[in-house]
Amino acid sequence: MSEQIKTAEALSLEALRSGDKAEIASLVEIFLDPVYRLALRMTGNEEDAEDVAQESFIKIIKSLPSFEGRSQISTWIYRIAMNESLMNLRRRKPLNASVEIDRETGDSQDEEIQIIDWAGQPETELITSEAKKELDSAISRLPEGLRSVFILRDLQDLSIDNTSEILGISTANVKTRLLRARLKLRQDLSVYYRERVIKE
Amino acid sequence: MNQTLECKKLIGELSNLIDGTVSPELCAELEAHLKECKNCRIVVDTTKKTIELYHRDEASVEVPEVMREKLWKRLDLRDFTQ
């Protein structure tokens, strides 16, 4: 492999499809961090994230010869990683699957909106190791349907259209879920910071 | 929070406002409301800050070196990595 890491756009589809190992190694190098981060946020723990990342890349490499390039390769890879993450969650708590689906479509905006002005608090108080745990905890409490949209759009910086394509839902649905996810996380952090950071 | 119709409209458009995807006319309308409504300003500011905190936290996550090594071996790509 060359010393400089390639970008996704520079990957040769022809070489990938034909099983060129150096090119495949470049692909893994480019997407390992994003896939691992996605898996970690979806599953909530390092062990499962490792399994998901590993299974995702095994599936990606196996499927490369039949990848037709109708979507961007990044979109295709994120879709595989998201599906692997969801399968991991289903395996872990199969009995909760139907409950999750109900919660995804339920309206969570009835909750009283917290009005606490914590955004201007000193960074040293907002970013503590305890606050980091709360960030992790709040995102893990989101229903999967909201969490997946927030991860792709706000953490992986993907567009609404790409997020829609990866999850197989409409752009309107992506926007609705994104708003709910952002409001729910904001609400949870507001409660957290009200109790710990805001001085009366 | 006692929400007026304008507040509800702003909350409904919050994501689009933050992402800069509202029309200029609607943006002007929402900005005018924000000048008058402290509660909505707090909701906008804390939502932006929430996204920023998560974004910053995400950048600090790295693949553990042990996992990286295991993956290269499992994929039989060890000889092709840096």
Say what the pLDDT of residue A99 is: 44
Percentage of chain B modeled with pLDDT above 90: 78
Report pTM.
Answer: 0.90
Tell me whether A97 touches chain B (CB under 8 Å): no
| CA–CA dist B18, B61 (Å, integer) | 25
| CA–CA dist A160, A144 (Å, integer) | 17
Contact A185, A154 (CB under 8 A): no
Taking the mean position of all CA atoms in its chain, how far away is CA A79? 11
Say what the pLDDT of residue A199 is: 59
**3-state SS string for A151-164:** HHHHHCCCCHHHHH
Tell me whether A172 touches chain B (CB under 8 Å): no
Spans of chain A, pLDDT less than 50? 1-3, 97-102, 105-108, 200
Predicted complex ipTM: 0.92
Name the residue of chain B whose CA is nearest to A137's CA.
B54
Task: Retrieve residue A68's tokens.
Answer: 């037709």
| CA–CA dist A64, A30 (Å, integer) | 15
Q: Where are the alpha helices (DSSP H) in chain A?
A: 13-17, 21-43, 46-63, 73-92, 97-105, 123-126, 129-141, 144-150, 160-167, 171-196
Contact A182, A147 (CB under 8 A): no
Tell me whether B8 touches chain A (CB under 8 Å): no
Say what the pLDDT of residue A95 is: 54
CB within 8 Å of chain A, chain B residues 12-71: 12, 14-16, 18, 39, 42-43, 45-51, 53-58, 61-64, 67-68, 70-71
Residue ranges of the domains in chain A? Answer: 1-92, 111-200
pLDDT tens for each residue of B9-49 = 999 999 999 999 999 999 999 999 999 999 999 999 999 99
Contact A116, A182 (CB under 8 A): no
Residue of A2, A124, A155, A197 for testing the chain B interface, max B β-carbons within 10 Å: A155
CATH architecture for segment(s) A111-200: Orthogonal Bundle (1.10)
Class of the domain covering A1-92: mainly alpha
